[in-house]
Each structure stands twice: as structure tokens, then as C-alpha cells.
Structure 1
Amino acid sequence: MTLNVMETANETSEEYFILIGFSDRPVLEMILFVVNLIFYFFAVTGNSTIILLSLLDPQLHTPMYCFLSNLSVLDLCYSTSSVPQMLANLWGPRKTITYIGCVVQLFVFLSVGGVECILLSVMAYDLFVEVCKPLHYMVIVHPQLCLQLAALAWLSGLANSILMSPLTLSLERCGHWRINHFVCEMPALIRISCVNTSQVEGLVFFLAIPIVLVPLTMILVSCGYIASAVYNIKSVAGRKKAFNTCFSHMIVVSLFYSSIIYMYMQTGNAASQDQGKFLTLFYCLVIPTLNPFIYTLRNKEVKGAMRKVLGNGPGPH
């Protein structure tokens, strides 16, 4: 396998990058191929189901499912922009990606990551209003506000990517086209640069404050208020429902933010490269697979909508 990668390197021009991954461990590559294929199938199926049900069932035309549909679109973008190429490289001897493909992966990763950070804070605000101000919920979180908040998340993520992608790609590589990763991710591209990258890394850390840390702070504050409100709910059923909803959101937030902070808020050479590869697999595949199950696919509303769409029974009442 290593010989094949070296042969590919000799054939590669500046139109291609070489994604090394775990080329020196072919058995691990075969295991990862099978595992990734299974996770990718469930990620696409689960998130596509959420999007379709939210569109087809009028009873799911609510702010929560609007935001969840956006989250499912983000998860599909994450996995589809990288996993098919990853599977092809894991399966065959060639480990290359075109320069254009690398640019697309980098842009998608940076933009989608930024959008998801903002969107998770928006969803936390939605939960805060639903639990703490239930009588005013429909007045405060009206459809126009939902569209505005979703647009804010998408525009913020795109702006982050438009700024960071060209800066990352403009770093001098001095003929280095071998990326020790599965995908064209920013830390991996920074590592192959032959110039001082401290300014770019400093800008990454600076941009992480409004894109990562501020939304995370808002989420934690919102959940603090929610926890206080849940404690004061007298109904056991109501308290359990509110707790489960907030707990599900915090699981997703913890999974996503822990991997993002580890990957992007330290210098390009500081992280263990193998850990970085597995973390990338985690938030490209595992998180998009888990999100639909954590949030919605076990809900009575979604089960009812699924039966209704499939013609197997009435929707929820």
C-alpha cells in the first residue's frame, strides 16, 4: 500500500493532493471503509428522513423542526463533501484528490462548521423561550424570526469560510502535496506549509471567538436558565419532557464543540495527527448519524408524521 502511494506521488502534479490517511496500515483502512460506509448510509438516511418529514407534514412546520431541518442539511453537507472521496481512497491504491476537490472540501468544512456553531446557539435560544416563556413562545419565535436566525447562521458560516479558505490555500507549500489526513481540512493544510503560519493561526483563534466561543457561551447561559425553569415546573411529566429536550441538545453540543475546539483552537502542529484523523471521522460521520436519533426519530411527533407520510396511520394529534 505504501508503494502505491509513492507511485501516486510520482504521478501527481500540482493539480492533485495526496491524502495519506492510514496508507501504512491497510488492515485498518479496510476496517474503516466498512465502518464509514455503514455510518454514511445511516447518516444520509436519518437526516434525509428529517428533512422530508419536516417538508411533507404540516404539523412539523414549527420553529424547532425548521432549525432541525437546517441541522440535517448541515450534517449531509459535512458527510457528503468528504465521505465518498474518503471511501474511494480507503478502497483503492490511489490516494489523490484534485486541487478543486480539495478547495471544495475546505470551503464546505469551514462554512458548515461555522453555520452549525451559530445554529446550535439559535436552537438553544428556541429551547429557552419554549421552556421559560411558553405562553409567549409563538409570539416571540415567529416564522419570520426563524428565517432571520437561520439566515444569520448560514451567512456567518459562509463569511468565515470566504475569509479563511483563501488564506489557508495561499500558504506556501514548497512542493509539498502530501496531506497526512483523509480530507483537505484546514489544520492538515497548515501543517504542510513551509512558511511561518502563526499569523493565520492567530486569525483562526481570533475568528473562533465570535464563531465558536460566543455561541457556546450563549448555549451554556440558555441551558442555565432552562435548568432553573425545569426545577420550578410542578408537573412531573412537563419537567421530564423539558429535561429530555434540553439534555438531548446538550449531548449534541458537547459532541460537536469538543471536537471542533480540539481541532481548530490550537496550532496546526500541536495536535496528534492520528487523533485529528479520528476526530474528523467522528464529526463527519458519527455526529451526523447520531443527531437525527438524538433529536427527533424517537419523538412521537416524528413517528406519527412517518406513519402519516407512509400511509400507515393518522399523524399526531
Structure 2
Amino acid sequence: MPTPRPRVRRDGTVVWQVPIRIARDGRVLQSSKSFPTLEAAIGWAQLVDKLGTADAVALLDFQRGSTVAPATVADWLNAYVDHLTGVEPYTKRKYCAYIVNDIAPFMGHLPLDAVTQFTDAAWVLHLEEKGNSGKTIANKHGFFAAAMAAAARMRPKPLIAYNPCIGTRLPRHDSPEMTFFEPDEYELFLSAMPQRWHAQTEFCLASMARPSEVAALTVGDIKRGAGAVRINKAFKYTGTGRKLGPPKTKRGVRTVNVPFETLDRLGLDRPHDALLFHTRRGTPIRPAYFYQEAFLPACAGRGRRSGQCGGGSVGR
């Protein structure tokens, strides 16, 4: 990184110069750029180190030639998140973490319309180098691409001419192959589980409902005579508490058939608004609690009996 150095003008004021080398007509010329403060000089010197001299000079010339300072990437992303509608507070906090931890350090200081397809591709490579998985990169890039698309759609005047994220190829990510218990494996697994969890485990297997959906079910959702369960709600856990809402997707509202034998084990002679499954205190069972108290002990017991513990699934 070039080192800023002070220069005293004739009027006694001090400016900070960043020395650079510029290639012109086959020759390398010594030059410099001046800044009113040391902080500004250091910031631009870091930009030279990150983008290269030519791009950093072009960006500086663009900024100084504008009568109105363009919005920076960080400014726009924060404004975009602040005005998002139809998303949970937890989701907004996740997006803010993307901005602070992944986007701002790399290009948050850039003017919004200075971001190009090359900038976006370089950022994706940067995330890979930091050890982000393909799925994580897809999530972060999806947020950034949506924000840039919104900037290109702004009216009456778009903030950028086009979305630079279009066409960027992301690292491949393959979902892990799902594995399921064979009947004898399931029986062994269930026998190693504490008795109080047997009915819920069997219901999860029979309904294939998500744990967050199972946690929200009430006795009234069970149609015993028809052997059916109506799934139309789920708990959402935000880190600060739980919130009852619709299932994860629109298609998540559904009716599923469950064997009568399974329903007979659920103790349905209770008020319709009573939770189908609950803790000893009468509160909903969080998926993490079920995993800790039921799945892991059973897995450990199965390992002791069979010498192994696989990744079988009893639900989603």
C-alpha cells in the first residue's frame, strides 16, 4: 500500500499526498493524488491496494467530477434493508450482518454505480477464499443481487443503469443426500429413545411434517375419524423468541393422512386448543429441544447397541 506523506502549501495548510505510478504511452510515470486529511489519504491508499492504481484513480476522478456525491454501496444496502416489507425482523438482522461482515469491508465504500460485474465476481471469489460454503455464498449473493436489482428499478430515476450481479456464476453447492431408516433400524432407534418421546417421533415419521409445524399443532387440527391432520401454521424462532405464523411456503398449508394407530397414541381427549405436543411445563416443544432430549439420546443408545449411529431422518 502506498504511504501518504504530508506537503505544506504556500499558505501554510497541509495536504496529504499518496504517491502512485501510472502507465502512459508505454512509460511508467511518477505521480500523486492529494487529500485534505490523513484519514482520506489512507482510505484511498487502501483502495489502490485493493483495486489497483488504474481503477482507484478512475473512481477518484469520478467522485471528484460529480456535483452530488453518489450513494455508497453500504448506504444503499442499509436503506434497502430498512425499507424491506414482508420480512421477519430476524431476516433483517441477518441481512444487516451480511452488510457489516461480508460486503462493507470489501466494497461498502464504493459509489453504488461504480460496482461492475467484475466487482461482483471478485467479491464472490473473496467469499470463497474466506471459507464460505457454496450454499452460504448463494444466500449472501442472493441478498446483494436483490438489492442491486431494486436500485436499478428505482423510480423516477434508477440509481444504477443495470444490475451487475446478473450472470455471475456462483460456486456449485449440492445438497447432502437424504438418508432414511430401514424398518429394523427405526425400531432399534425408537427402543433407545426415552418413552415420553415415542408418540411424537412416530407422528413426525408418519406425517413428514416439519418440527416447527409439529410444535404448533393443536388437538383441534387432528381429524381422528378421517385419519387426517390439518397443517396450517408453524412456529418461527427468531433468536429472541417464537412467533406463530403460516408454514414455510404457500404449499405448506395442507392436509396429510396419518395411520389411525398413530393418532390413537396421541391422547386426543383434550380441549381443541391444547397443544398436541408440549413440554412438562405446557409450552411448545422447540425443534432444538426435541433434538437434544429425544434424537441425540436415541442416537447414542443406538450407537451403543449397534456400534454405529447414522444420519437417519424421522422428519424434516
TM-score bracket, normalised by the shorter chain, equals under 0.3
* TM-score using structure 2 length: 0.27
Task: Indicate the structure (1 or 2) with the bigger Cα radius of gyration.
Answer: 2
Q: Please, what TM-score do these two structures have when normalized by structure 1?
A: 0.26
